[in-house]
Structure 1
Amino acid sequence: MTEALNADPAELAKFSDLAHHWWDPESEFKPLHQINPLRLDWIHALADLNQKRVLDVGCGGGILADSMARKGADVTGIDLASKSLRVAQLHALETGTPNIQYREVSVEALAQEQPASFDVLTCMEMLEHVPDPSSVVRACAELVKPDGWVFFSTLHRSAKAFMLAIVGAEYVLNMLPRGTHEYAKMIRPSELAASCREAGLDLVGTKGMEYNPITKRYALTTDTSVNYMLAARKFS
């Protein structure tokens, strides 16, 4: 029997419909372009991407994957949204980004195919869009080598996150398309940390991401009550 994909068809369709906007820095993906340097610097400072084998899970149009490859990493980006992957592949060809490839495969399937194969794994803004986030966390833990790094980012399921990330970002400021996020699918840091521990990953650190609507700038902070990143490591 074929194992069901851990993916929501409605979510895949949502991002496929926006695929042609991935590399437009003034489009719906403007926030991702703005926060990408902050994320990249934090990941690189902890894991040193140069000459590392890196997997970007839920890579979308390749914004983070592309920037990690430019840091000297050998990057594989995976996603189940076909149109987004085609955009990522085309961008890599047009810009000549070295050491990068894209595949349409689930993280669970790749874990069976290539266990303990990557030095660094990133999974950004994906967990809140899948039916079973813990399955993704387990697969990520299986894919990373001993002593390897795993980085997640997602949204805290809190009243503050509901007001800022959904009401504020989607309905007031129109920074994101309405319906991008569902409150019930958001994940508390304690829940993600527990999933990591159950999968054999040790929590190393967290960072919050805040947006200042006056300066229109993002910054990394210690406040994880809305957007946050979590760094974990698979110690041998």
Structure 2
Amino acid sequence: MSSKKFSLLMFGLSKLKPTSARGVLRGAAGRSSYSWTAVCQQRSSGTRRAVSTSSTTVDPGEVKRFQSLSNKWWDEQGGFAALHAMNDLRVPFVRDNLLTVHSAHHPGKPLAGLRILDVGCGGGLLTEPLGRLGASMLGIDPVEESISVAQLHSSPDPDLCDQVSYQACTLEQLSDEGEKEQEEQSKAQFDAVVASEVVEHLADLETFAICCNHVLKPGGSLFITTINKTNLSFALAIVVAEQLLRIVPSGTHDWEKFISPVELECLLESNGFLVQSVQGMMYNPISGAWSWTNSTSINYALHAVKKSDGAEDSCTHSEFEPAASHS
């Protein structure tokens, strides 16, 4: 598709009005409020939920799909090219937000001394660069084939041998193991959890949020990148990216699993998190590059921190101020 045709397509699609909740752009310095009373009132007011033994984040259909794609993770020109390019945004997003809390004492290794969990790590596309920044990384994924690819790719690199490890398991399995270890030595907690382009593939977001809270230290950070649930995201992420341009493998996304920033924030804040910032992201298939944008109507990045015990749950407030729209 030529640049001119793509520009005309983008102009036409931009006229679509999203029908779902509107995204909210916020900086760490100041937080906006929003009208989401009905959803929030359905949430428990600060009560810690136990993870049911039947609750799982894993969708068997998604596992089967990624099993068939596992040998393509490190093809930078293939179906995961956009994820490779996204590192230009998501690596600094994680690094810079962590450095606002944890001062760097190791030149060239700003994340040294931090333990980070990469949930749904796939072939290790984000795990490896964070490990190169000094973080002690654990990448987990329920797809064993993807974990094998990640292990094989990192094994020849001496800089990653002591920094990166992988485990074929689910987040809830790791959370259960972590709780047992915490009872003994308090070793299984992380300074940060990253889940990049993952939540739109999960079967149960409530379980995801609960387990992230379990494995994080108090004040630990949760980083998420995902896709908003709007008409525009359906048009671009599925129709254009998968069916027309074929820059993403067909069937990768299910629009019904997309989630708006407002919904995601409410879910997180009712499960022990405080959202610090939400920022829009845009992918240009012509240049193959990502950029930050004021609009969260397609892709967005979110940073949240685990609340201290007894912190106020802002998602249960009875009154909300109207939020600005960024569609």
User: Which TM-score bucket, shorter chain as reference?
Assistant: over 0.9
Change in 2 beyond 3 A, CA 1:50/1:223: farther
Q: Decide whether the 8 Å contact of 1:209 with 1:226 is kept in 2.
A: yes
User: In 2, distance between residues paired with 1:4 and 1:206?
Assistant: 28
User: In 1, distance between residues paired with 2:234 and 2:56?
Assistant: 28
TM-score computed with the length of structure 2 as normaliser: 0.69
Match of 2:82 among 31, 37, 42: 31
Q: Decide whether the 8 Å contact of 1:206 with 1:222 is kept in 2.
A: no
Q: Decide whether the 8 Å contact of 1:54 with 1:75 is kept in 2.
A: yes
Residue in 2 that maps onto 1:233? 305
Q: How does 1:171-190 map to 2 (within 5 A)?
A: 171-190=243-262
Q: Which of the pair has more CA radius of gyration?
A: 2
User: In 1, distance between residues paired with 2:149 and 2:70?
Assistant: 7
Residue in 2 that maps onto 1:110? 174
TM-score computed with the length of structure 1 as normaliser: 0.95
Q: Mean Cα displacement is larger for which, 135-144 or 208-217?
A: 208-217
1:76 counterpart letter in structure 2: L
Residue in 2 that maps onto 1:137? 209
Structure with greater strand percent: 1
Give, in angstroms, the shift of residue 214 of structure 1: 4.0
Q: How does 1:15-164 map to 2 (within 5 A)?
A: 15-48=66-99, 49-96=111-158, 97=160, 98-115=162-179, 117-164=189-236
What percent identity do the matched residue pairs reach?
A: 37
User: In 1, distance between residues paired with 2:189 and 2:61?
Assistant: 31
Give, in angstroms, the shift of residue 51 of structure 1: 1.8
User: In 2, distance between residues paired with 1:72 and 1:14?
Assistant: 32
Residue in 2 that maps onto 1:168? 240
1:79 counterpart letter in structure 2: D
Give, in angstroms, the shift of residue 95 of structure 1: 2.3
User: In 2, distance between residues paired with 1:36 and 1:16?
Assistant: 23
Cα offsets for 1:4-43 (capped at 9, x unmatched): 6431111111111111111111111100000112100011
Instruction: Indicate yes or no: 2:265 matched with 1:193.
Output: yes
- Structure 2: 5+ residue stretches without partners: 1-51, 100-110, 180-187, 309-327
- Structure 1: 5+ residue stretches without partners: none
Give, in angstroms, the shift of residue 77 of structure 1: 0.5
User: In 2, distance between residues paired with 1:186 and 1:213?
Assistant: 21
1:228 counterpart letter in structure 2: Y
Q: How does 1:207-218 map to 2 (within 5 A)?
A: 207-218=279-290
Q: Decide whether the 8 Å contact of 2:88 with 2:290 is kept in 1.
A: no
Once superposed, what is the RMSD of the aligned Cα atoms?
1.6
Q: Secondary structure in 1 aligned to 2:203?
A: coil
1:13 counterpart letter in structure 2: K
Q: Secondary structure in 2 aligned to 1:63?
A: coil
How many equivalent pairs are there?
A: 236
